[in-house]
Chains A and B, each alone.
Chain A
Amino acid sequence: MDHKGVEEILSSKRILISGGTGFVGSATVRALAEKHPKCAITVIDRSPPRPRNALPGGIRCMQVDVTSAPEISKAFQTVKPNIVIHTAGIVPGLADRFGRRLEKKVWTINVVGTQNMLDAATENGAEAFIYTSSCCVVTDDMRSSYANIDERWPTSSNSLIYGESKVATAEALVLNASSEKMATCALRPSVLCGPGDYQLVPAIHACIAKYETPFVIGTGDNLWDVTHVSNVADSHVLAVENMVSCRTAAGEAFFIQNNEPITFRNFCLAIWAHFGHVPTFEIRIPEGLAYLAGWLCEMATWVTGGTTTLSRGSVRDACAVRYANGKKAKEILGYEARIGIEDAIRLSCEVSQDYELCPCAASGSGFMMSKKILVTYLEFQEYAHGIGVKLPAKG
């Protein structure tokens, strides 16, 4: 079907996006509103619109918690959506990524929330359900490496809490629910960056202040996929278009990424270079040694009860090979990254922190963004200086 036809169909559709004020959700809303201005978009989210994730005008926002079935059901009855995009979910922060502390919470939001959404969608006669999964459904099983993987690769039940919860939801629930009446599909983006990212780029940037930049763990040859958030948003729009036309994507999962794998080390170096920092020397640490150090750190924090950047999990993460080939998404959805990785990194470094700085600079507090990352006002000042923002005087 040509683009005009799809546009016409979509102009009479009501789309409901869960997690629509979040990182991926808001980008998807923006992309949809731009490409299909006539369709009616409703955002449901636990939190009201956030300044760092701007939403276009004319979008209806409802404050709904996905873990509460009655709230969801009420929202669906009010909106009566034809198409549901479920982006709401929780990604545990770096410190909790490798542990089990948040297991219950992650499970409730990612699995129970998805079940609630699916039930409500079926009851209210939605015709399409698009789920934002993650490449972690495959790659969070840290026992193996993932070079150029595709969708035939198995999802694993032996993995980190995030991967596990996403597996159970994405694969077992959403894809199995695909039927004649309601077509479903799952999109599996890789690690994300872009405006509104509060996890990846800030964490890497924080290494400068901690003098961690010269250390290379492992060989430094391991390739990664990184995706700019607006490319992921594009893939959601394409999935919507597919679902209302030929429906070839029904019941399928797709890896979504920039298709420009880059080594983790060079990704970090590029970000640091953006902030004017180039490590003057390099120290290579063999993976085994780093793994041991990670284990020791974990022991130390187990005793003291704090959090650690270095852990066995983070060492494995830093040394892992994780990139997918984007053939299936290209063939079925017609997806191709519009924003290249070079621009993606630049935009992540420039724009995202502009958003971040405004409210915090106004509050004058030394605490901003994620508390774990920037602790003191001094670091904050250096951070702001690095990206060329002038701060108001302290106090």
Chain B
Amino acid sequence: MGLVGNAVYYTFHPIQLRSIIQWKVWHNPPHERNATNDTETQKACFKFLDLTSRSFSAVIKELHPELLFPVCVFYLVLRGLDTIEDDTSIDLKTKEPLLRGFKDILEQDGWNFTGNRPEEKDRELLVQFQNVIAEFKNMKPAYQVIIKDITDKMGNGMADYCVKAATDDASVKTIEEYDLYCHYVAGLVGEGLTRLFVEADLANPALLKRPRLHKSMGLFLQKTNIIRDIREDFDDDRRFWPQEIWSKHVDKFEDLFKPENRDAALACNADMILNALEHVEDCLFYLAGLREQSVFNFCAIPQAMAIATLELCFRNYSIFERNIKITKGDACELMVQSTQNLQVLCQTFRKFSRQIHKKNTPKDPNFLKISIECGRIEKFIETIFPTQRAEDAQQRVKGELTVEQAKKREEDAENKADICFMMGLMGVIILFVAGSMMAVAWWFGARFDLAWQEITSGHFRPPPHVVEKASRVAAAAASASTAARDEL
């Protein structure tokens, strides 16, 4: 969309524009990064961060200084792994040992890799990977251990997947396999990040005792992407929707894209989204364990985007035709909402869950399951942020007032007293002014006794000849004043 297109679009969508402006103007990063003292390798790392990820680099740069570099390097390391795995031009014999041994590569000073095909979009990152390694070695050893461990697990997971793809078919069959795949590509990132947060004392250590929570954080994001990208992946001959789900609705995966199977495709779409929604509670629970604003923002923004994306995709046939995205204005609004606190974020989740609920239709075989899931999400939010309390209800039944109500009533009474006092004062002033005017008039000889007599006898107006006389006097006075002015 060009400039003109944008102008037209935002003229008709002023709320979107408002959200964008709100975000750009009002958002204050919790930690502003000072880039002036960066070393060469640090600069290189940030350059690659900007190049490889549009959405993540902004939130990473606002992270607490303690975690800024660890998270940045962690991201680039995983990106490097991904670039090797994605490249179909590297043959398995080279690829497998690279993936499995990537954790040791992190220790090798000056290591880089030029074996990627030229069209691979993040090729340059691996060509200059020595910068990432240098920064990795600058980190606290505790962080190094965590990153190394996750790299090890993920590298091996990817290698297994590549081997399976080469020997067997790699399509995802069961929901269990689907979860496992998502765990390798996203759940492990959740684990690594959580360990970094806890290590830096920016999150509740209890998060590590419930691995299900951080796993869900990753799975929810990954599943959302997989649902949204169905068309793009299909065109690239990748299939991540598990057979266990799509086979309930169509016989062959390709059938999802045929117009005559529209209803089945929509039911399958709803089934997939139902599967993803199961992670929502865990995600909100996880976010409650974060102690620092920048870490909260870092985790909450992608989650809010994910629930909004799911709502957009829910029973939306366009996902089978093209890649759809939430608008920029909506994204800005979401970012505003997800950089405050958990309560605001929960309201956002409730809003989207209700919208999904509204789009749900009894024609869908999973109608009730989806409805129950939305109810569960709402109940969970109500549990952590109750809209009403038992104490209030008790007081209401007893006829007592809650503290807020009592306060409000007191304030109201105070306001009322103020207003009464003001009115009284005004009245006194008016009486005083009117009284003194009458006194002055009396002193100059006004005959109130005659006026009173006339009024009591029923004459509210002067008789006509008096009016005539009076107007004549007035006219004479006016001409006299004109004459006097002329003379002057």
Contacts and interface: CB of A to CB of B under 8 A. Distances in A.
Nearest to A145: B388
Interface in A265-303: 266, 269-270, 272-273, 278
A141 B368 CA distance: 29
B368 A266 contact: yes
Contacts of A269: 362, 367
A367 to B, nearest CB: 30
Interface stretch (A152-160, A356-364, A370-378, A381-389): A152-160
B362 A272 contact: yes
Interface string B359-402: 01111000111011001101100110011101001101110000
Contacts of B369: 342
Interface string B147-188: 000000000000000000000000000000000000000000
B371 A270 contact: yes
A260 B357 contact: no
Nearest to B358: A220
Contacts of B382: 147-148
Interface in A136-185: 141, 144-145, 147-150, 152-158
Interface in B388-446: 388, 390, 393-394, 396-398
A256 interface: no
Contacts of A272: 362
Contacts of A135: none
Contacts of B383: 148, 325
Given A149-B390, A263-B357, A270 B367 contact: yes
A263 B375 CA distance: 7
A224 to B, nearest CB: 9
A273 B394 contact: no
Contact of A262 (B362, B375, B387, B398): B375
Interface size class of A (residues with CB under 8 A): 20 to 34
B239 interface: no
B357 A147 contact: no
Contacts of B361: 278
Contact of B368 (A144, A155, A261, A345): A345
A153 B393 contact: yes
A341 interface: yes
A144 B362 contact: no
Contacts of A152: 390, 394
Contact of A156 (B375, B376, B390, B397): B397
B387 to A, nearest CB: 6
A89 B371 CA distance: 33
A223 B378 contact: yes
A260 B376 contact: yes
B354 interface: yes
A262 B372 contact: yes
Given A266-B367, A273-B367, A261 B379 contact: yes
A123 interface: no
21 contacts: A141-B397, A144-B388, A144-B393, A145-B388, A149-B390, A154-B390, A154-B394, A154-B397, A221-B357, A223-B375, A223-B378, A223-B379, A260-B376, A261-B379, A263-B375, A266-B367, A266-B368, A266-B371, A269-B362, A270-B367, A323-B375
Given A220-B358, A263-B375, A269-B362, 7 more contacts: A144-B396, A152-B390, A153-B390, A156-B397, A157-B397, A262-B368, A266-B360
